[in-house]
Structure 1
Amino acid sequence: MSLTAFIPEIWSARLLANLHKALVYGQEGIINRDYEGDVRYGNTVRINRIGAIAVGDYTPNTPIGEPQQLSGDQRTLVIDQANYFHFYVDDVDAAQMNVRLMDDAMREAAYALADVMDQFLAGKYVEAGNTIGDDTTPVQITKDTAYDIIVDAGIKLDQANVPRSNRFIVVPPAIYGVLLKSSLFVEAAKSGSTDTLRNGEVGTISGFKVLTSNNVPTVNGAFKVLAGHPMAITFASQIEKTEAYRPEKRFADAVKGLAVYGAKVIVPEALVCLTLTV
Structure 2
Amino acid sequence: MQALQVAADAHVGSKMLAGVLPLNKVTFPALGGAPGDPFNELVDYSVVLDNADVPALGRFAVVRPEVKAMILKHDKFIASSYGSAQPIQNGVIGSMAGFTIASTPHLPAGVNIIAGSPIATTFGDQLVNIESFRHLTKFGDVVRGLHVAGAKVIRSERCSSPPRADQIANG
Deviation, 1:145, is: 2.7
* Alignment RMSD: 2.5
Deviation, 1:254, is: 4.8
Indicate yes or no: 2:3 matched with 1:112: yes
Name the CA shift for 1:167/1:191 in 2 (closer, same or farther; >3 Å): farther
- The answer for the alignment partner of 1:32 in structure 2 is none
Indicate yes or no: 2:62 matched with 1:140: no
SS in 2 for 1:177: helix
Contact 1:233 1:264 (C-alpha < 8 Å) held by counterparts: yes
Deviation, 1:225, is: 1.6
Q: Deviations over 1:133-170 (max 9, x none)?
A: 2xxxx343567732211111111111111111110001
Deviation, 1:251, is: 4.2
Name the CA distance, whole Å, in 1 between partners of 2:132 and 2:20: 41
1:120-199 counterparts in 2 under 5 A? 120-124=11-15, 125-129=17-21, 131-133=24-26, 138-141=27-30, 145-190=37-82, 192-195=84-87, 197-199=88-90
Name the CA distance, whole Å, in 2 between partners of 1:169 and 1:265: 16
Name the CA distance, whole Å, in 1 between partners of 2:2 and 2:38: 32
- The answer for the alignment partner of 1:240 in structure 2 is 128
Name the CA distance, whole Å, in 2 between partners of 1:217 and 1:191: 33
Name the CA distance, whole Å, in 2 between partners of 1:144 and 1:193: 29
1:8-47 counterparts in 2 under 5 A? none
Deviation, 1:266, is: 0.8
Contact 1:243 1:256 (C-alpha < 8 Å) held by counterparts: yes
- The answer for the alignment partner of 2:108 in structure 1 is 217
- The answer for the alignment partner of 1:85 in structure 2 is none
Name the CA distance, whole Å, in 1 between partners of 2:29 and 2:4: 33
- The answer for the alignment partner of 1:261 in structure 2 is 149
Report sequence identity in percent: 29
Superposition TM-score, scaled by structure 2 size: 0.78
Q: Say which one has the larger Rg.
A: 1
SS in 1 for 2:24: strand
Name the CA distance, whole Å, in 2 between partners of 1:254 and 1:191: 44
Superposition TM-score, scaled by structure 1 size: 0.50
Name the CA distance, whole Å, in 1 between partners of 2:127 and 2:159: 28
Contact 2:80 2:96 (C-alpha < 8 Å) held by counterparts: yes
- The answer for the alignment partner of 1:39 in structure 2 is none
Count of paired positions: 156
SS in 1 for 2:118: coil
Give the gaps of 5 or more residues in structure 1. Answer: 1-109
SS in 2 for 1:140: coil
Name the CA distance, whole Å, in 2 between partners of 1:268 and 1:132: 12
Contact 1:192 1:204 (C-alpha < 8 Å) held by counterparts: no
